[in-house]
Chains A and B, each alone.
Chain A
Amino acid sequence: MISLDPEALFSIKLSLKVSTISAILVTLFGLPVSYFLALKKFPFRNLVDALVTLPLVFPPTVTGYVLLLLLGKNGVIGSLIYKFFKTGIVFTWYAAVVASSVAAFPIFVKGARAAIESVDRNLLYVSYTLGKGELETFFRVVLPLAKRGIIAAIVLSFARAMGEFGATLMLAGNIPFQTNTIPIEIYSAVSGGDFEKANLLSIVTGVISLSILYLINRLTNRGERW
């Protein structure tokens, strides 16, 4: 019977934990951003749009490096964290969450924004003329109608977080039983010659990815079973 060593098992649990938290964070922050980008005109809209999309086009290592500069002991944000919490997040599993979230954010926003844009604008107008404010309109009209697209975006951002490697390595490092997510574990296994472990972890990743793709298809093609 083939079995995984505790370190590999830890990496699977860590990856699931990091990706789930990332997906939640990305949804919470991404939904308002998507709403504003989809429906509002505001100054520097294009700039915000570009900033949000940046991690998608940046090499992940560069993203990771920029994050390291920002969040490190002497970084703008990092120094504040040190001041208040007396500890840093760089090279902890929190850093893996940050790296995954930043990488997954644009993917979520792209999808959620398209879903919100596809809601007929007149439906919002009707809701406003019927006395409903923007927040109520969002929850009763926009969200139900954009639901499928938004869920698909959440799933995709979860998948992106699962596969995050470059930025995570830069920001969280490769510390066994601390920051070794699946992709990083596979990388160390292969560089250490442990191909059996790499194979197993790859299969695990494959199963997770396939389930995700299947889930998306189920969500986007209504009615069809397979």
Chain B
Amino acid sequence: MLEVCVKKRLEGFYLNVQFFSKNKSVALFAPSGSGKSLTLQAIAGLLKPDEGRIRVIDRVFFDSNEKIFLPPQKRKVGYLFQDYALFPHMTVWENVSYGCRDKKRVEEVLEMFEIQDIKNRFPGEISGGQRQRVALARALAFEPEILLLDEPFSALHKSLKLELYERLRRILNEFSIPMVLVTHDFDEVVQLTDYVVIMEKGKVRQEGNPKKVLFNPIDEKVAKLLGHRSFLSGKVVSVKKDWVKVRLKDRKGQLLEAKNFPEDLKEGEDVFVSILPFAVALNPLEDSVKVSAVIKDIMKEKDRNVVVLDLGSDVVLHLPFSLSPNFIIEKGEETDFYLSSSCISVFRRRYEKES
């Protein structure tokens, strides 16, 4: 479906990205400055790679060996910029019809995005959410064969985001076109895509199904990007088909069971164990492991307590208020916690050298 191999040397930055996805919607997930927007520009034809190959479904956009470079005008991509890049001197109608001569289609798209009422207004006169809808409408009126979204939700309010996720999902279904989404919000990745490419410093670090990747980061760097916060060192004690046992290097040498681990993990390996903040078991009977730890700190947030446990290193756990009335947990006390072993990940320390 989507094949991307891009090598581009820029001033002080080397972009070397390769990934292949059979899925329709792909996320490029990375911290800012990792080259994800550049990758998107290369797919759109706005950046010419030094070397590589870009293919969308059956159309080759770029191939350095065969000297193919399709200009952006010929690629039929719908590009949504972070700031939407609406033409400020044109009305909503003029913006949407910019790439589409068919007036009927423009009207249809305006209707689909519920922006027909504001079609005579200028971008400066409408709200952020409306602007985003206009930008999407403009991209889709052009009948693109792939949609490229560059952090489209980052400027929007949280409540608005959920509504837009839903709209985007509907549109992708309706138009049945592939999408590449650039984001640094993993929530978006899980909600909107079924393949994620994790980038760092211009390179791909890991790719795969978002949920699988979330629980199975290849190393602590990727884990941190994905929101893992608590890393404990330990040694693998036993490896079974579905789970591994790891002895922690805390005071008591407690055993932890984890359901997420590299396939080729061996007994006796030194590893990192990550306990995700939401690892508190909903059902203590099923797949849960008991750990006891001293509570180092309790912080109140809007709808939950955030507790810091001492398990050799700090472990951060989120406890909904319903699970943790104030009189049950107390700072400085040793308390038992039941953790879901499917929210515990085991991975190797980063061993490869930076190249």
Interface residues of A (CB under 8 A from B): 120, 122-123, 125-133, 140-141, 144-145
Contact = CB atoms under 8 A, between A and B. Distances in A.
B99 A122 contact: no
B142 interface: yes
Going nearest first, the 9 A-B pairs with the smallest beta carbon separation are A130-B99, A122-B85, A128-B72, A129-B79, A126-B85, A144-B89, A122-B81, A131-B73, A129-B72
Contacts of A129: 44-46, 72-73, 75, 77-79
Contacts of B85: 120, 122-123, 125-126
Given A130-B98, A130-B142, A145-B88, A122 B83 contact: yes
Nearest to A133: B73
A120 B82 CA distance: 13
Interface of B: 41, 44-46, 71-79, 81, 83, 85, 87-89, 98-99, 138, 142
A82 to B, nearest CB: 46
A125 B87 contact: no
Given A122-B81, A133-B73, A128 B46 contact: yes
Nearest to A132: B73
Given A125-B46, A128-B71, A140-B98, 6 more contacts: A122-B81, A125-B85, A126-B85, A129-B72, A131-B76, A131-B99
Nearest to A134: B73
B54 to A, nearest CB: 14
B38 to A, nearest CB: 13
A145 B75 contact: no
A127 B98 contact: yes
A126 B73 contact: no
A114 to B, nearest CB: 18
Contacts of A140: 98
B169 to A, nearest CB: 23
Nearest to B81: A122
Given A133-B73, A141-B87, A145-B88, A126 B81 contact: yes
A121 to B, nearest CB: 9
A39 to B, nearest CB: 13
Contacts of B83: 120, 122
Q: In the complex, which of the residues B73, B79, B98 has the most CB atoms of chain A within 10 Å of its own CB atom? A: B73
Specify which of A122, A127, A132 lies most central, judged by the most chain B CB atoms within 10 Å of its CB: A122
A66 B319 CA distance: 82
Contacts of B72: 125, 128-129
20 contacts: A120-B83, A122-B85, A123-B87, A125-B46, A125-B79, A125-B85, A126-B81, A126-B138, A128-B45, A128-B46, A128-B72, A128-B73, A129-B77, A129-B79, A130-B138, A130-B142, A131-B99, A131-B142, A133-B73, A145-B88
B59 to A, nearest CB: 15
A145 B73 contact: no
A120 B79 CA distance: 15
B91 to A, nearest CB: 13
B248 to A, nearest CB: 50
Nearest to A144: B89
B143 to A, nearest CB: 10
Nearest to A120: B85
A133 B41 CA distance: 17
A144 B122 CA distance: 14
Contacts of A131: 73-74, 76, 99, 142
Nearest to A126: B85
A203 to B, nearest CB: 40
B154 to A, nearest CB: 15
A125 B71 CA distance: 11
A208 to B, nearest CB: 31
Contacts of B77: 129
A202 B60 CA distance: 67
Nearest to A125: B46
A212 B297 CA distance: 70
